[in-house]
A and B are shown apart, each in its own frame.
With several copies, the nearest count.
Chain A
Amino acid sequence: MNGVHDMGGLHGFGPIRPETGEPVFHQAWEQDVFASVIALMAQGVYNLDEFRHAVERIGAAHYLDSSYYDHWLSAAELVLCEKGVIDQTELDRRIAEIKADPDAHARPPAGGEDPLAEALTQGLQAGLPAHREVAAGPRFAVGDRVVTNNLQPAGHIRLPAYVRDKPGVVVMTHGAHVLPDTHAHDGDESPAHLYTVRFDGERVWGEAGADRPAANHVDLWEPYLSPA
């Protein structure tokens, strides 16, 4: 998906503003959103690639003018309605109830046996590895010259525009990993060999615009690459 989430190289967003003594969460609602999103992913309601693609689809203006956890909230609303886990009518009604009574539907304190909490504790430790064993060997080896394909699907892809249709060199191989392009849409893992590809900064950004010496490194799946 060509969209504003793919923002590498854009101008005009101004200076970076680090915050001194930044808290992990700035507001309590961010905690709710973080926990909701992670808990549902851990339970397999959606996968990480589906969720990322939902973030890409919340609307370009909203993406640019809302905070990070608002992105997550908007994406969760979108994907959970699409999957029928919740429906928009009950969500709208629930929001209205809470606007009318700010104490409505407040979360009670935790207590007692909680198998979900225990499973999540273990899930954080185990993670969700993306590596998969596949029969086919890798097409490329470290040192190989490649060129990225000109892939511009409407759906999910993890080939940033700034390195699309550009030459590079393989610097790492990682075995086969779940392919986000399919995984985001039908859950099909279609594992493909993953490579870290180095791109010369001047080739990517143009001679006039590049800091130098500098190189961009991007992790790219085999279907994104052709021999140079």
Chain B
Amino acid sequence: MSDHHHDHGHHPHPISDVQARARALESLLRDKGLLTPGAVDTLVSAYEQDIGPLNGAKVVARAWTDPDYKQRLLADGPDAIRELGFGGLQGEHMVVVENTPEVHNVVVCTLCSCYPWPVLGLPPVWYKSAPYRSRVVREPRAVLAEFGTELDADVAIRVWDSSAEIRYLVLPERPAGTEHLSEDELAGLVTRDAMIGVQKVEAPA
């Protein structure tokens, strides 16, 4: 949490409009029996503590090290991902798309903010922002370059716009020079941005 985090017990400063609106809604829902403090804690801690891109990194590392797993993963994403214990809300119908030397995949949701929660957690602000949503479908090569990802001119870019309940996860290329690394070590290399498709996975320096 940033230092914007406010303390529910003491307010030296006036409360902002949006803070007051959020509290008003949340407290009314509690009053009506539709929300509990425990429900809030459960949902927040799930995505702050448990469900994040480390899940996806484990999936990727397994696919890099286990050819049979990779085959299952590309054939049936949710089943293969569930083998590692991940699945559920906003990941009911996951499809894994594989980067190769010839093809680079990148994921967006132009209409809202769809994202594979069970493997990546909640999306970063930039993923939900107008610049990314408006641009990556039209000029993916320029957007990737802004993320430091320069693709050869003949690499075909595939942009996946999550307009339905299919959630796309990019299987990045395993970087050269990582043959000696363990599955856990490999998972440590895999970034959220590589699984969205805006970056590549780099070998350790």
| In the complex, chain A residues whose CB is within 8 Å of the CB of B125 | 19, 22, 26, 67-68
| In the complex, chain A residues whose CB is within 8 Å of the CB of B42 | 114, 117, 120-121
* Alpha-carbon gap, A41 to B32, bound state (A): 15
Q: Which one of B65-73, B91-99, B177-185 is at the interface?
A: B91-99
Decide: A102 near B141, CB < 8 A? Known: A8-B134, A215-B158. no
* Interface SS of B by simple majority: mixed
* Alpha-carbon gap, A70 to B165, bound state (A): 23
How many A residues touch B, CB cutoff 8 Å? 105
In A136-179, the 8 Å CB interface with B consists of 152, 158-160, 162, 172, 174, 177-178
A134 to chain B, nearest CB (A): 15
Once the chains bind, are B15 and A35 in contact (CB under 8 Å)? no
Decide: A35 near B43, CB < 8 A? Known: A27-B2, A214-B159. yes
Once the chains bind, are B138 and A9 in contact (CB under 8 Å)? yes
Once the chains bind, are B41 and A211 in contact (CB under 8 Å)? no
Q: Which of A129, A162, A216 contacts B92 (CB 8 A)?
A: A129
Q: What is the total of A-B residue contacts with beta carbons within 8 Å?
A: 312
* Interface SS of A by simple majority: mixed
Is A203 close to B, CB under 8 A? no
Once the chains bind, are B5 and A158 in contact (CB under 8 Å)? no
Classify chain B's interface size: 35 or more
| In the complex, chain B residues whose CB is within 8 Å of the CB of A17 | 126, 129, 131
Once the chains bind, are B39 and A211 in contact (CB under 8 Å)? no
Decide: A7 near B158, CB < 8 A? Known: A32-B23, A117-B39. no
* Alpha-carbon gap, A30 to B1, bound state (A): 11
Is B175 close to A, CB under 8 A? no
Q: 4 smallest A-B Cβ distances: which pairs?
A: A114-B38, A8-B110, A219-B164, A102-B11
Seen from chain A, the residues whose Cβ lies within 8 Å of a Cβ on chain B are 5-11, 13-19, 22-36, 38-40, 43, 45, 52, 55, 60, 64, 67-70, 73, 76-77, 80, 85-86, 90-91, 94-95, 97-99, 102-103, 105-111, 114, 116-117, 120-121, 123-131, 152, 158-160, 162, 172, 174, 177-178, 180, 194, 196, 198, 201, 205, 209-211, 213-221
Known: A77-B25, A106-B9, A131-B92. 9 other contacts (CB 8 A): A39-B40, A98-B23, A103-B11, A116-B39, A160-B161, A160-B163, A209-B138, A214-B158, A216-B137
